[in-house]
Amino acid sequence: MIQAPRGTFDILPESAAQRRLVEDSADRILGAAGYRRIETPTFEATTLFARGVGEATDIVQKEMYTFDDGGGRSLTLRPEGTAPVCRAYLEHGMRKLAQPVKLWYLGAFFRAEAPQRGRYRQFWQVGAEAIGTDTPETDAELIVLLAELLDAVGVKADRLRLSSLGTPATRAEYREELQAYLHAHEDQLADEVRSRIDLNPFRAFDSGDRGTQAVMRDAPKLLDSLDPADAAHFAQVRALLDDAGLPYELDPMLVRGMDYYTRTVFEFTSSELGAQSGVGGGGRYDGLIELLDGPPTPACGWAAGVERMLLAAGELPHPSELVDLFVALARTGTGEEQRGFELTRQARRAGLQAQLELTGRSLKGQLKHADRLGARFVAIVGDNGVATLKDMESGEQRDTEVENVIPSILRAERLP
Ligand code: AMP
């Protein structure tokens, strides 16, 4: 039997209502803040991610689904949404619009990671980006909006971790300082960390290795090396979150998987999730648009995983799908089938959820099936345009003209 590829999953009808809750909540909460929906292609030129996300990142080094399109062009299934949105911003001249340009998206993303609970090779993210402003209000607004979305979906996000990475210049200086520190403690580091001191020393903070973690506790922290403008920006972000009553923890060890971040970075985590505890996160990426050959354009954004949100939300109430009307046929005969077909169509046009018997069951079988579906009413279409309308709640039934079926149901459903 052919199965779905490893790390992927089918979204079955049972989970549609929960996923719709995420989408509707995002639409409402982000829409109310002036964010407008954008969708970009599922694949992009590989260079967009190599340049945008960063050559040295795990995403680019190990996790991209990259292929040749047959015409010698290298394409990649998108592993993240920020670089594509920035590409679209430039491609459509959005810098000529009033800034900031506020956008949100919801779609599938792809990373060749080792699958486990909450970590898939195809997953969905909802994301928001505010492009063309560097004010701390923007960062705080985005963080508050993500908190509201998580709340609306019922996510128990226990922690908001917050940090600032400063500017690339500060980071470059700090990087050297950190590299010197790591070299001085090489013998206590995990092999993987030691081999990447020169390529990406920041990832040492991310290591699961005990020895490395012990070394990193005393490592120099970027937060202590911020220049005055970055420190003031970060202080203002924090003040705004304090005013908004949103608790956070300063976490100087917070590292994110993309190179494009500058200044503010943040992540919401939930203990409901186990090892893959990140529900959503993001930060400021003031240099990304320039990396993509655009003009200097400060921006900030986040992405949250739909599956992780739903895992962290636990059991959401299942809104039952009500069937208002099941159209049964007294006998099979051309006239009845046509009348039943037409009645079902009209019922749907009148706004009812209506289903027609489609498998040729006996009348008894049809009534049993209607009961299983939870149908509120059954209309048994018989000879000569007469139907028996049965109220499945009270068990009452009466004969009526087929034309009266829909009005009767609409009247009945308006009653308390
Ligand atoms: P990132 O784009 O890495 O900042 O991730 C943002 C969010 O997307 C994370 O907090 C997760 O909720 C979700 N996410 C990232 N990678 C995966 C994955 N492989 N499977 C499921 N969700 C993911």
Distance 123 CA to ligand 1 centre (A): 8
Task: Render pLDDT for 321-346 as a digit per residue (tens, 0 to 9).
Answer: 789 999 999 987 778 899 999 999 99
Q: What confidence category does residue 67 fall into, taking pLDDT thresholds of 50, 70 and 90?
A: very high
**Residue located nearest, by CA, to atom 21 of ligand 1:** 119
Q: What confidence category does residue 318 fall into, taking pLDDT thresholds of 50, 70 and 90?
A: low
**Residue located nearest, by CA, to atom 16 of ligand 1:** 119
**Residue located nearest, by CA, to atom 14 of ligand 1:** 305
Distance 124 CA to ligand 1 centre (A): 8
Q: What confidence category does residue 416 fall into, taking pLDDT thresholds of 50, 70 and 90?
A: very low
- Name the average pLDDT for the chain: 93
Lowest-confidence segment of 76-85, 124-133, 320-329 by average pLDDT: 320-329
pTM above 0.85, yes or no: yes
Provide the pLDDT for residue 415: 52
Atom of ligand 1 nearest to the CA of 113: 19
% of the chain surpassing 70 pLDDT:
98
Lowest-confidence segment of 111-115, 232-236, 274-278 by average pLDDT: 274-278
pLDDT at 216 over 90: yes
Most confident segment among 30-34, 175-179, 311-315: 30-34
Q: Which of 206, 308, 309, 310 to mutate to test the pocket of ligand 1 (most atoms within 8 A of CB)?
A: 308
d(CA 225, CA 171): 9
For residue 366, what are the CA distances in angstroms to 217, 354, 380?
68, 14, 9
Q: Enumerate residues lining ligand 1, CB below 6 A.
A: 80, 111, 113, 118-120, 123, 125, 256-257, 278-281, 303-305, 307-308
Distance 132 CA to ligand 1 centre (A): 25
| Sequence-ordered list of residues with C-beta below 8 angstroms from that of 268, at least 6 positions apart, any chain | 146, 147, 150, 155, 157, 159, 160, 161, 278, 279, 280, 281, 304
d(CA 158, CA 172): 33
Lowest-confidence segment of 54-68, 254-268, 273-287 by average pLDDT: 254-268
Provide the pLDDT for residue 320: 65
Q: Which residue, among 290, 379, 271, has the nearest Cα to 326 in the 3D structure?
A: 379
Task: Render pLDDT for 226-263 as a digit per residue (tens, 0 to 9).
Answer: 999 999 999 999 999 999 999 999 988 787 777 788 99
Atom of ligand 1 nearest to the CA of 257: 3
Provide the pLDDT for residue 284: 97
Angle 228-243/136-153 helices, nearest 10 degrees?
A: 40
pLDDT at 414 over 80: no
